[in-house]
Structure 1
């Protein structure tokens, strides 16, 4: 029997396993991942950015954990030689109407303790990113890029090295949970079953379904939003040095289409944000009847659609039009042409929606009997993974009496 079973091999599950194993080396931990590879969904398909903590409401779990987690993540990457670069980013305002929002996120950054941020003028923007155009901006020197899949793999490797009785199983999907006693559960997969004292579920895009299977009463539902990327061609890569972000629209839970230099040197542009008809569907036409039915029979989905109708239509048009995608990119880098961009990859983000159509913006982790469920871990959860893992470890110490 295992002491703790962690469901989900993304970066939050891996960081949680590592944090618990490091403090309690005698515990036998099982990690169950349904895919053939770790970090196969949100972790491995995000933009690879180490976020600073600029955007998040002061005092929120996102704000606190992003700043703490970022510092720990960078130190971890240095220690274990994980590909990363704290290269800084510039947030660019292109119109007068964006300046109040820019001021607001700058103030957020100050209150959240983001180091070294400064307001900059058009000339300074040009010095940092010569091909970008803006009337004002924010320089954020502590933002960076990292290999999140490599980080996840290293966290799991270190966990298994601490305790020989700990184990990871791949290509097994958790189907159900069974309470055997107050101190024992059975985790049932499509191939096997495992007895364990406690369970921690870090299910990402499947978080709500796994919670319900474990008897957690949750009114909200996870809805997936796909983000498509373009890449700059080899001939156009010189137009972006590091990271360039727009001033985000405060009405939407996304940061807008941005430019990111990845750790492999490629430049990505994106992502957009469109409702996906399959939670783990990365193609524009991917479809799951179950996922679509779940989403479209939920009142919160329709309320979100109706309250953001124009935004949603614009995003869908842009998803199928290279010309419209380019026009968005040209707001920041006007010299880009159709020949400068080529289709890239896609990712899917999990949004936890309330029945009124509002998004659960902050991290949400709940305890039930002998289980802990990570119900909502949107961006910047990858950046904050070690801080989130530490929070879960503290919850486990309290509730599981470790």
Structure 2
């Protein structure tokens, strides 16, 4: 019986544990999570969007796994009685000079095989009466769900199949001993034949503990959200996104009607001073030292200084945040916004300052490391799990 240890109790780690046991029912699987609950960070703090796969380079892992994942996620939710809604979304150009980017996005979506079409302002208003635009891209297969509920269902199914999930188990060391992976944690030692690193915000740190030097390091970017006051939720029926700037992996502040009926606004993207830095006041000295010593971050900052300053100003001013949203829905004002919990995106950045724009999965003997899995990782999680398991050794021999 092969023994597997999965580090990380977010949706990717839980989906991977579940997939191992589906494909290899005789396996022994242990999931290690450092928090007292599952899905505590990226999984539980995102906007709940099931992405269609519009934005990603055709042929890339993101494009392939997101398109497949949007389908398999909806199917999984239906099978497990998890509320889900395929509501579609509008990506909108609010100025004429944004039209070339919108049409390029349309071409990319078509290349990715997605059900999309360009619509006029009048057609867009049929979906979103309060919207202002000069043209929009309608994406029919986008949906919404609560990914924390999905994670709980994955954990339950994995446990039913024999997995052990250990909370409060922060990894402190990893040693390869003969043919075994020895993982030392704050909750004791776990010995396995194969290690799978799905540690999200800490994936590069875990890789280094395991003796792997990542080609890129995690830089945490905080995404701050507001929500609309209940009496103003009727201004947004579904999902409204701006046309993104292709130089960045961030989609710009947008409006999302959540599965519970609330409407979230955001996120922006500012550098976080802790891997779990959900506010300006959360500063981790270790993370600051890593950021200061990251040559890629300095190169990235020099190239995109103006963009970064714009995000910081929006972070510090509700008025600026509201102004960005009013480009999409002119009736929105800062009085309509209430603070909502922030999230942190684990974005891998290379030493030359490039943002890693695809999922990054690295396999070695007896180890697989998921080193870059930001959005749309939640959407793609079931397919990322398939991809990871396909790269695992099939027996106790090194793979």
Please report the TM-score for the alignment, with normalisation by the length of structure 1: 0.97
- Alpha-carbon spacing, 1:290–1:399, altered in 2? closer, same or farther (3 Å): farther
Give me the whole-angstrom Cα distance separating, in 1, the residues matched to 2:91 and 2:385.
29
Give me the whole-angstrom Cα distance separating, in 2, the residues matched to 1:158 and 1:262.
25
Could you tell me which residue of structure 1 aligns to residue 270 of structure 2? 274
Give me the whole-angstrom Cα distance separating, in 2, the residues matched to 1:338 and 1:271.
15
2:164 equivalent among 160, 167, 170 = 167
Aligned residues of 1:279 and 1:291 also touching (Cα < 8 A): yes
Give me the whole-angstrom Cα distance separating, in 2, the residues matched to 1:202 and 1:233.
36
Could you tell me which residue of structure 2 aligns to residue 360 of structure 1? 356
Could you tell me which residue of structure 2 aligns to residue 20 of structure 1? 20
Once the two structures are superposed, residues 1-38 of structure 1 have per-residue CA deviations (whole angstroms, 9 ceiling, x without a partner) of 97100000011101111111011111110000000111
1:225 maps to 2:224 = no
Could you tell me which residue of structure 2 aligns to residue 41 of structure 1? 41
Could you tell me which residue of structure 1 aligns to residue 239 of structure 2? 243
Aligned residues of 1:225 and 1:273 also touching (Cα < 8 A): yes
- Displacement of 1:338 in angstroms is 2.2
Could you tell me which residue of structure 1 aligns to residue 188 of structure 2? 192
Matches within 5 A, 1:106-125: 106-114=106-114, 116-125=115-124
Once the two structures are superposed, residues 53-90 of structure 1 have per-residue CA deviations (whole angstroms, 9 ceiling, x without a partner) of 10000000000000111111100001101121111111
- Displacement of 1:216 in angstroms is 0.6
Could you tell me which residue of structure 2 aligns to residue 99 of structure 1? 99
Could you tell me which residue of structure 2 aligns to residue 293 of structure 1? 289
1:302 maps to 2:298 = yes
Give me the whole-angstrom Cα distance separating, in 2, the residues matched to 1:399 and 1:240.
52
Could you tell me which residue of structure 1 aligns to residue 212 of structure 2? 216
Give the RMSD, CA atoms, in angstroms.
1.3
SS where residue 382 of structure 1 aligns?
A: helix
Matches within 5 A, 1:352-391: 352-391=348-387
Once the two structures are superposed, residues 337-376 of structure 1 have per-residue CA deviations (whole angstroms, 9 ceiling, x without a partner) of 2221111110000111011111111111111221111011
Could you tell me which residue of structure 1 aligns to residue 343 of structure 2? 347
Aligned residues of 2:4 and 2:195 also touching (Cα < 8 A): yes
Give me the whole-angstrom Cα distance separating, in 2, the residues matched to 1:251 and 1:196.
41
1:328 equivalent among 298, 317, 324 = 324
Once the two structures are superposed, residues 297-326 of structure 1 have per-residue CA deviations (whole angstroms, 9 ceiling, x without a partner) of 111111111111011111111101011101
Give me the whole-angstrom Cα distance separating, in 2, the residues matched to 1:321 and 1:206.
30
Could you tell me which residue of structure 1 aligns to residue 52 of structure 2? 52
- Displacement of 1:400 in angstroms is 5.7
Give me the whole-angstrom Cα distance separating, in 2, the residues matched to 1:313 and 1:285.
18
SS where residue 343 of structure 1 aligns?
A: strand
Q: Which runs of 5+ in 2 are unaligned?
A: none
- Displacement of 1:92 in angstroms is 0.8
SS where residue 3 of structure 2 aligns?
A: strand
1:84 maps to 2:47 = no
Aligned residues of 1:49 and 1:144 also touching (Cα < 8 A): yes
Could you tell me which residue of structure 2 aligns to residue 155 of structure 1? 154
Could you tell me which residue of structure 1 aligns to residue 69 of structure 2? 69
Give me the whole-angstrom Cα distance separating, in 1, the residues matched to 2:328 and 2:216.
36
1:31 maps to 2:28 = no
Give me the whole-angstrom Cα distance separating, in 2, the residues matched to 1:189 and 1:197.
17
- Displacement of 1:159 in angstroms is 1.0
Give me the whole-angstrom Cα distance separating, in 2, the residues matched to 1:187 and 1:285.
32
1:176 maps to 2:173 = yes
- Displacement of 1:203 in angstroms is 0.8
Moved over 2 A (4+): 397-402
SS where residue 21 of structure 2 aligns?
A: helix
Could you tell me which residue of structure 1 aligns to residue 144 of structure 2? 145
Give me the whole-angstrom Cα distance separating, in 1, the residues matched to 2:61 and 2:203.
18
Aligned residues of 1:2 and 1:30 also touching (Cα < 8 A): no
Give me the whole-angstrom Cα distance separating, in 2, the residues matched to 1:398 and 1:360.
29
Give me the whole-angstrom Cα distance separating, in 1, the residues matched to 2:396 and 2:51.
32
